Amino acid sequence: MDVLRYVAFSDVPEGGNPAGVVLDAAGADEAAMSAVAAEIGYSETAFVVPRDDGSLDVRYFSPLMEVPFCGHATVATAVAYARRHGVGELTFHTQAGPVRVSTAHRPDGAVSATLVSVPPRTAPIASADLADLLGALRWSADELDPGLPPRVAYAGAWHPVIAAASRERLAVLDYDTEALPRLMSRHGWTTVDLVWRESPSVFHARNPFPTGGVFEDPATGAAAAALGGYLRDLGLVDPPVTLTIHQGDDMGRPSVIGVTVPGGLDTGIAVTGTAVAL
């Protein structure tokens, strides 16, 4: 397989989240895709099989597992595809459902991609599960933002949304590397979306991903979409609204994720970013 390497949600190779992209994985079985993803070692590698109608079947593998949907690898794949075939509209058929993706040239010549997630959902976290999660994160309840209550949010994959009351709390990530992945695997959580709200439209995020073999993600588009759905479901934003999420700063890989939250509870969340080849 011809593996392309892109970094998503950044204009420069030193930022963002790296992703592997295989634009034609026809004939590759699950074992082969898993082996390639493990060898590359990025948080996700996307494997594409073109359909006769011009849409794409896409599967996403981390070094340790397959995930139903990955935002940063979707952006990377869309930009890589546009570089080869031209910008335009696409449909990605993922295990989470169909995801509409559009690419366009920016004035500076870069290609940006916007995906529209499957309809998001938000669910409560049982008090015992929240206590276990905070314990695994080594956070305390009094370090949480009371204005952003803990929930589990979905926009193709499930992510607990846990909001810190301060930027200083978010800056320290020192979780239990045995307890957290056990808890996440038990509940089917892909990453944990740790956030801090700088302003009504600007958020900072960190995303542990130990179940995938990655301590932390520098940019997580699926969690960004889930956060947009969470904010809309809980009435914490007045849609339509555009949000900016900064992620990866504490890792030295700054990433910027644009999130557009439309009106209507059953509409997908739009996530926008750029990607550059490595």
Active site residues: 44
What b/e sequence results for 229-253 when a residue is b if at least 16 CB atoms lie within 10 Å of its CB, and e otherwise? bbbbbeeebebebebebbbbbbbeb
Q: Which residues pair with 161 in a beta bridge?
A: 151, 193
214: helix, coil or strand? strand
**Phi, psi at 129, each rounded to 5°:** -65, -40
CA distances 42 to 8, 17, 141, 193, Å, are 12, 8, 32, 19
Q: How many residues does the chain have?
A: 278
Residue for token pair 């995303």:
207
Burial of 213 (0-12, 13-18, 19+ CB in 10 A): middle
8 Å CB contact between 145 and 170: no
DSSP 249: G
Per the DSSP assignment, residues forming a β-bridge with 99 are 92
Q: Are 144 and 164 in contact (CB under 8 A)?
A: yes
Kindly report the CA angle at 75 between 265 and 254, in degrees rounded to 5?
100
Supply 198's token pair: 């700088």
DSSP code, position 156: S
Instruction: Please tell me the number of Cα atoms within 13 Å of 205 on its side-chain side.
Output: 35
Its sign, for the CA torsion 165, 191, 240, 231, is: negative
